[in-house]
Structure 1
């Protein structure tokens, strides 16, 4: 969420960050999704933190459809298929974030 008072700052995970920490925020968001992949076979990983991370990444990606697919993967009923699909989607998401 952008604030009109702090044009160059963004609130993320209840912290304020400027443009210099953008990469750290991306790493934090990816870390949150990695944790969700780790947990999703045994529990519901659709937390507010995961939703915030996905929304943040969607705004900073050239391929935001990976975030949509990740959300859909967490809805899969079979825990083994859910974990496999989420892991594959996270890998694709990370590839689109990495410089060539």
Structure 2
């Protein structure tokens, strides 16, 4: 029924895609957000790369409102509050992406 070659693949719109490549894209997007969190207390971490990572994750989450909240957190004026809020929202994003 299942060949060993198809165990790590999933169908997207009729095309087979390597599940590990999707997981790698998710990890890269989370890494981009993590980098933004580490920088946001000292600099403006809003960038095209962060926006692209958020747009990608929104399409693959059951709770995309966390991405909206992350964007809003990066606009908070107080650097300590901004970093704390972004860190908490990133944790919520990761929990949403992690299968139970």
Give the structure-1-normalised TM-score.
Answer: 0.82
Structure 1 residues 1-100: aligned runs within 5 Å: 8=15, 18-20=17-19, 21-100=21-100
The structural deviation recorded for 1:43 is: 0.2
Runs of 4+ residues over 6 Å off in structure 1:
none
- Please give the per-residue CA displacement for 1:25-59, whole angstroms capped at 9, x wherever unaligned: 00000000000000000000001000000000000
Q: Is the 8 A contact 1:8 1:19 kept in 2?
A: no
RMSD between aligned residues:
1.4
SS of the residue corresponding to residue 42 of structure 1 reads coil
Q: Provide the rounded CA distance (Å) in 2 between the counterparts of 1:94 and 1:35.
A: 14
Structure with greater Cα Rg:
2
- For structure 2, the residue ranges without an aligned partner over 5 or more in a row are 1-13
Q: Distance in 1 between matches of 2:15 and 2:38?
A: 34
Unaligned runs of 5+ in 1: 1-6, 10-17
**Distance in 2, Cα, partners of 1:75 & 1:56:** 20
Alpha-carbon separation, structure 1, partners of 2:15 and 2:74? 33
